[in-house]
Structure 1
Amino acid sequence: MPTQASTTPILLVDDDADLLRLLTMRLTAAGHAVQAVASAEAALAHLAVQLPALVITDVRLPGLDGLALFEEMRSRHPSLPVILLTAHGSIPDAVEATTRGAHAYLTKPFDGQELLTKVRQALRVNATGPAPFEGDGAWRREILSRSPRMAEVLAEARLVAGTDASVLIAGDSGTGKELLARAIHRASPRAARPFVAVNCAAIPEALLESELFGHVKGAFTGAQGHRQGLIPAAQGGTVFLDEIGDMPLALQVKLLRVLQERVVRPVGSNEALPVDVRVLSATHRDLEEAMTTGQFRPDLFYRLNVVKLSLPPLAERREDIALLAQHFLQTLAERHRKRVKGFAPDAVEALITAPWPGNVRQLYNVVEQVCVLATAPLVPLAQVQRALQMPAAEVLSYQHAKQRFERDYLNQLLKLTSGHVAEAARLADRNRTEFYRLLQKHGLDPQRFRTDLSDASGFGDSKTSGESTT
């Protein structure tokens, strides 16, 4: 594929000029950029200048041999994939090298198609290639990616960063919404001013207004002094409202007023304070659906959703998994004072093909587990497989786990009482008004539970059956 030439540079090392020429022709025809050298010493000199995506080296070389070259590359670049070319006499050495991290070996003479297959597999697990956007990429330095999907998102983010438009960042939990918000702030004219992040789901409803807008002394029990809110604290900069979909309706009205009038009124104060902030928001919820159920105000939605950026789940950007895993491993190894340097090739393949319901956050947790338990420089497949068997709940945030439990609990109560809200509220030790509010929050309709028996027997009337599907 011609488009891969600039992104898959391959280094060939062999002292057989004819074989070197043949391999170069085959790989170039397959769309790769090939650099050919005749010795291990020349290969090391090349690696000091430019790191390829893959090295293919003969085992028997003049001077420093291919196995010594492999060990040197492994110590300097532990995740750089290496394919060994062997004669029959050196097969045992090549097999031993694969146990120490070589991606594969091919016995001469080998089939050209087999070589290309091994090359494709090796490039798939390579985590050493450069990520795009390296020129002026300091603004998105925390976001490592070579995925085309992410490239589109980052290009749009870079464009919108130069404006003051409100941006709504959508994406599943763990996809990195706050990292993208910070990147937009760093690329904006407000970069020198504060960036303040607020998780609307993590702050109790009774305290959220005071946290956002501030309060004056005596505004409520326990307010012993004046306190600046988080929005005024970001004056001149950016406010990031994470999980905006969980903001209570009453507070949505007050936030809308802040966005429209550019003033903040602290709790208990009669004075409105002017604010100059840019608002970025994020949610894992479908806000358009929340509007139809009355859980989110349309006027606030349109204020926040001037530009929408959607982060793909990790399963849709698999090109980034090896890159992220290696980066996390290097960072965590330094933090935990471990000597682990990389993943075995089959371990990387397992990471790439895993489902990742918890997205990048789950990947980080898995890498941290294998790093802490690592006993060798390369993380083996078995250790990665054990880490991937962790229950999905372990990668949920506390707030999301609480929400899941709450919804399941309400479901069980409504099933137990056949949808009778008064009885369900009594069992939950909550008043009916509060219980209805909980049902609305989770989009639960008691009617659906009242019609279970009639629906199951097929004798539900048309009106009731219609209501039960809404």
Structure 2
Amino acid sequence: MASSTPTRAAPPARILVVDDDADMLRLLSLRLNAAGHDVVAVGSAEAALAQLDTARPQLVLSDVRLPGRDGLALFDEVRARHPSLPVILLTAHGTIPDAVEATSRGVFTYLTKPYDGKELLEKIAQALALSAPAVAHPHANDDWRAEIVSRSHRMTDLLSEAYMVAQSDASVLLRGDSGSGKELLSRAIHRASPRAARPFVAVNCGAIPEALLESELFGHVKGAFTDAVSNHKGLFQAADGGTLLLDEIGDMPPALQVKLLRVLQERAVRPVGASQATPIDVRIISATHRDLEAAMANAQFREDLYYRLNVVSLVLPTLAERREDIALLANHFLDRLSRKYDKRLSGFAPEALKALTTAAWPGNVRQLYNVVEQVCALSTTPLVPLTLVQRALRTPSTQVLSFAEARQRFEREYLVGLLKMTDGNVADAARLAQRNRTEFYRLLQKHALTPGQFKQDAGDTDDVVDERHE
């Protein structure tokens, strides 16, 4: 796909910002407004809860230290009222342990003060991606792609190309990893084409034994071979007037590649055992996860067939390349599967969605569906918890960390927070930690931390907001 496509701006989001420091509140509001967000700024947890009653935001950004009810108590109340609403906490060095503990309870993330402005905007973008409404096809004229749940720029660009291609009769080659949705896209192309009222037929060229594939594709006449007790129409004839998907075309045996090329050139099929060919009118879509150029170089795939099939090539991104779609897909699948299992499931806990969006997904969308089906079958609460998602992903739960491992993790995060706050000044950081400099240096060496990496250049000061109170 063309790399020159301009990046689309994300739609404005309503963010509730809570801080009792008027200067900090003003700076945060200015930064978030400049990033295109709609900011509601308040100075206390009580005022924040009042805002939740009138107009629900898409994200809450709160300082931990607040007068009266603190940020952690505010988070608990937000979680009780709106379990899927993400919360980001801002914390000074003295409240780092509380913030670390809060993340295990469901806070989306925490940032230590002074914090990097770019990092703040990145974390906000990630949290908003998790809480965005699940709209699969917002426009009525998008019915052709109704089964494809997506809002990512990569998929939007791909679908725009697919729609244009669908209006022609050109052969299409879909490339993409297994589970990335090649068959789903081929069906969408068929529905958007002038052939939509005619049949769509799909065949997996790698799943049918070579001895049967020719008969399946082209048909046979009675007596053509031992088991041919009657005439049989092949899939080309079944798809006449419509679209035929040749899935995993890279697995087609070489002998059949020759016969397929002849069918495409002559636009007619001759069933096995027949003496005459039958004209056909079929639009061909091919799909593969294999590198066909490498297969041609190894004489495993015919070059002339490749160019016949590859008039237009569309590449499907992996799920990892469209992470903004993961939460949308997960909630879409959960809604569908909760009906299948007759369960009342309201969604995923924020930390569970976070785990889904950061997973590797080697199996792409198909793997995501399987994971959601497993958690749906096993969930005993309306909100799917992190532990079930970790189990389905086969990742270790935080609960199984040893005391030494948990201590190591906290110690490193604490040191990083101190160095960020002191701009890499070891003397100041050691003083705050109430440790002598020699001992503090040993701790840094133990965790492979270099103070210099936390020093801000003069040109970067715009991206750092200083904390003026604790």
1:158 and 2:163 correspond: yes
* 2:36 aligned partner, one-letter code: G
1:290 and 2:292 correspond: no
1:129 and 2:132 correspond: yes
Match of 2:308 in 1: 303
Give the 3 Å change call, closer, same or farther, for CA 336–94 of structure 1 in structure 2. Answer: farther
What is the count of residue pairs matched by the alignment? 372
Q: Which moved more, 1:300-309 or 1:20-29?
A: 20-29
Equivalences for residues 109-128 of structure 1 within 5 A:
113=115, 120-125=122-127, 126-128=129-131
Paired residues of 1:321 and 1:352 also in contact (CA < 8 A)? yes
Residues 427-459 of structure 1, C-alpha deviations (whole Å, 9 max, x = no match): xxxxxxxxxxxxxxxxxxxxxxxxxxxxxxxxx
* Structure ranking higher on relative contact order (CA contacts 8 Å, 6+ apart): 2
* 2:130 aligned partner, one-letter code: A
Residues 396-454 of structure 1, C-alpha deviations (whole Å, 9 max, x = no match): xxxxxxxxxxxxxxxxxxxxxxxxxxxxxxxxxxxxxxxxxxxxxxxxxxxxxxxxxxx
* 2:380 aligned partner, one-letter code: T
Following TM superposition, by how much is the alpha carbon of 1:321 offset from its aligned partner in structure 2, in angstroms? 2.0
Match of 1:456 in 2: none
Give the 3 Å change call, closer, same or farther, for CA 265–34 of structure 1 in structure 2. Answer: farther
The 2-side partners of 1:204 and 1:121 are apart by 50
Following TM superposition, by how much is the alpha carbon of 1:55 offset from its aligned partner in structure 2, in angstroms? 4.4
* 1:376 aligned partner, one-letter code: T
Match of 1:29 in 2: 34
**Alignment partner of 1:189: what SS?**
coil
* 1:129 aligned partner, one-letter code: A
**Alignment partner of 2:224: what SS?**
coil
* 1:164 aligned partner, one-letter code: D
Paired residues of 2:136 and 2:146 also in contact (CA < 8 A)? no
Equivalences for residues 136-285 of structure 1 within 5 A:
136-285=141-290
Paired residues of 1:263 and 1:274 also in contact (CA < 8 A)? yes
The 1-side partners of 2:156 and 2:362 are apart by 22
Match of 2:13 in 1: 9
| Amino-acid identity (%) | 62
In the alignment, which of 354, 375, 380 is matched to residue 385 of structure 2? 380
Paired residues of 1:11 and 1:34 also in contact (CA < 8 A)? yes
In the alignment, which of 69, 73, 94 is matched to residue 82 of structure 2? 73
Q: Which moved more, 1:207-216 or 1:322-331?
A: 322-331
TM-score of the superposition, structure 1-length normalised? Answer: 0.68
* 1:361 aligned partner, one-letter code: R
TM-score of the superposition, structure 2-length normalised? Answer: 0.68
Paired residues of 1:103 and 1:122 also in contact (CA < 8 A)? no
The 2-side partners of 1:177 and 1:186 are apart by 14
The 2-side partners of 1:358 and 1:44 are apart by 41
**Alignment partner of 1:317: what SS?**
helix
1:371 and 2:376 correspond: yes
Paired residues of 1:344 and 1:381 also in contact (CA < 8 A)? yes
Gaps of 5+ in 2: 1-6, 92-97, 396-470
Give the 3 Å change call, closer, same or farther, for CA 14–381 of structure 1 in structure 2. Answer: closer
Paired residues of 2:107 and 2:351 also in contact (CA < 8 A)? no
**Alignment partner of 1:220: what SS?**
coil
